């Protein structure tokens, strides 16, 4: 049976009247669900409420049918694992000692905590480092240790706040491979700070802006619904003026760099090259840009994902 995480009409108001989340409702079953949004959009506050770390001002969160803030809150929390961006590890202790500590916090006995920590360290590729102090860990190893800590209670739902932030491309790829292979049977909800991660690693996406959900759907559905046409970027030599193609004026990216929306990239490239050649303008380079969640995000919010 799949454990479902469901939030209904969540609000969060902080002292001073600041409302960070305004009526958010979402649902996650088995698979990976991402929350996209710039800093201050409400996604981290929402994750904290879903994980039971922050109480909503209003609204309900249910985990496997249990009310996270009701009388059955203990049962609800047993199903959740939560990995913060920066887990509060004790730097002088080893990875094993930190995991045992998290196991004890989850109500496991000392022996069971050791067994669980050893099993997770092997599964997540930490075996060679588990007896070293956390202070010696690389960023990638810390992220793996964070996953292990969140999994100590054997949860059905795993909540990850920007799981790959601060990692280089190779470490990000390795971590996502680990998540997709080792944790494929869990319900995973994560916040994405890069649109490409949400596009590649989500089954379903919620886009946040100013405390509300402004769009939701599968990545392919969102791209089809909101993204602009494919675009061709033309780099011309010198100060040549942009040319309209089939009556369409291009967007001026920079001097000598012009972007054209097209239906068929191959036919569009042919028409663009022909037009510039006829006017005696040398085309130095042409790029085709396929629309993705980055363009979707800008369309529905008017902002870039990295904006604060």
Fold classification of 5-225 is Rossmann fold (3.40.50)
What is the Cα–Cα distance from 286 to 273, expressed in whole angstroms? 9
Residue 308 has pLDDT above 60, yes or no: no
Residues of the chain with CATH 3.30.70: 230-290
The stretch 254-280 carries a mean pLDDT of 90
The stretch 11-18 carries a mean pLDDT of 93
Q: From the options 1.20.120, 1.10.150, 3.30.70, 2.10.260, give the CATH code of 230-290.
A: 3.30.70
* pLDDT for the residue 149: 97
| Percent of the chain whose predicted confidence (pLDDT) is above 90 | 71
Give the model confidence (pLDDT) of 221-252 as tens digits. Answer: 999 899 878 889 999 987 788 999 888 888 88
What is the Cα–Cα distance from 31 to 136, expressed in whole angstroms? 33
Average pLDDT over the chain reads: 92
What is the Cα–Cα distance from 306 to 291, expressed in whole angstroms? 17
Enter the tokens of residue 293: 């969640």
Residue found by looking up tokens 């480092």 in the block: 129
Least confident of 10-24, 143-157, 284-298: 284-298
Q: Where are the alpha helices (DSSP H) in the chain?
A: 43-51, 73-77, 95-105, 110-123, 139-151, 169-182, 195-201, 219-226, 265-278, 293-301
Q: Which residues pair with residue 213 across a beta bridge?
A: 208
As a dihedral over the C-alpha atoms of residue 77, residue 189, residue 64, residue 21, rounded to 10 degrees, the angle is 80
* pLDDT for the residue 19: 95
Residue 211 has pLDDT above 60, yes or no: yes
What is the Cα–Cα distance from 260 to 242, expressed in whole angstroms? 10
Residue 205 has pLDDT above 50, yes or no: yes
DSSP 8-state code for residue 133? B
Give the model confidence (pLDDT) of 51-108 as tens digits. Answer: 999 999 999 999 999 999 999 999 999 999 999 988 999 999 999 999 999 999 999 9
Residue 306 has pLDDT above 70, yes or no: no
Enter the tokens of residue 246: 């089939």
Residue found by looking up tokens 């001097």 in the block: 255
Give the model confidence (pLDDT) of 279-303 as tens digits. Answer: 999 899 999 988 899 889 988 988 8
- DSSP for 100-114? HHHHHHTT--HHHHH
Task: Using the Cα atoms of residue 176, residue 157, residue 23 and residue 14 in order, give the sign of their dihedral.
Answer: negative
Residues of the chain with CATH 3.40.50.300: 5-225
Residue found by looking up tokens 């529905």 in the block: 300
């Amino acid at each position: 049976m799949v454990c479902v995480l469901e939030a209904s009409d969540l609000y969060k108001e902080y002292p001073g009247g600041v409302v960070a989340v305004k009526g958010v409702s979402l649902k996650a079953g088995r698979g990976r669900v991402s929350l996209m949004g710039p800093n201050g959009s409400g996604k981290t506050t929402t994750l904290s409420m879903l994980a039971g770390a922050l109480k909503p001002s209003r609204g309900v969160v249910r985990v496997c049918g249990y009310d996270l803030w009701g009388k059955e809150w203990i049962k609800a929390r047993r199903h959740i694992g939560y990995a913060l961006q920066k887990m509060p590890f004790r730097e002088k202790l080893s990875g094993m000692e930190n995991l045992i500590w998290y196991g004890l916090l989850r109500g496991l006995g000392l022996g069971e905590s050791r067994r669980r920590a050893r099993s997770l360290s092997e599964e997540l590729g930490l075996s060679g480092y588990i007896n070293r102090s956390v202070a010696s860990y690389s960023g990638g190893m810390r992220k793996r240790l964070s996953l292990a800590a969140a999994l100590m209670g054997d949860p059905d739902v795993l909540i990850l706040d920007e799981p790959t932030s601060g990692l280089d491309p190779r470490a990000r790829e390795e971590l996502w491979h680990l998540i997709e292979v080792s944790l494929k049977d869990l319900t995973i909800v994560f916040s994405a700070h890069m649109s490409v991660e949400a596009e590649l690693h989500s089954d379903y996406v919620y886009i946040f802006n100013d405390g509300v959900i402004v769009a939701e759907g599968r990545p392919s559905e969102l791209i089809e619904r909101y993204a602009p046409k494919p675009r061709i970027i033309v780099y011309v030599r010198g100060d040549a003026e942009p040319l309209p193609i089939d009556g369409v004026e291009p967007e001026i990216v920079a001097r000598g760099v012009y972007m054209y929306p097209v239906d068929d990239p191959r036919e569009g490239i042919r028409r663009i090259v022909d037009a510039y050649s006829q006017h005696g303008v040398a085309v130095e380079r042409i790029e085709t840009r396929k629309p993705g969640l980055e363009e979707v995000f800008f369309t529905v919010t008017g902002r870039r994902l990295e904006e604060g």
